[in-house]
Amino acid sequence: MDVQAAREIGAGIAVIALAGVGIGLGNIFSTLVGSIARNPAARPHVFGLGMLGFALTEAIALFALLIAFLILFS
């Protein structure tokens, strides 16, 4: 196996984490909308927690892309 082929396969495997991130973001925002629809008075508290969950989940995507780029270009 060529080194370049191994790098491309490794980067592809590293990017698989993005599928989990997409599922996680969909779950976070669907739960956020559902909870605000059930209790609009709790919006200020729930919205902040939803944004925190979004930021932490998005950080996983950035780490996965960083690892993929490191595998490809190092």
Over residues 34-71, the pLDDT tens digits come to 999 999 999 999 999 999 999 999 999 999 999 999 99
Q: What are phi and psi of 15, to 5 degrees?
A: -80, -10
Distance CA 69, CA 15 (A): 10
In eight-state DSSP terms, residue 15 is T
Residue 24 CB neighbours (<10 A): 17
pTM for this one? 0.78
Mean pLDDT within 18-27: 92
Q: What is the DSSP string of 49-62?
A: HHHHHHHHHHHHHH
Q: Which domains does the chain have, with CATH numbers?
A: 22-73 (1.20.20.10)
Is residue 49 within 8 A of residue 42, CB to CB? The reply is: no
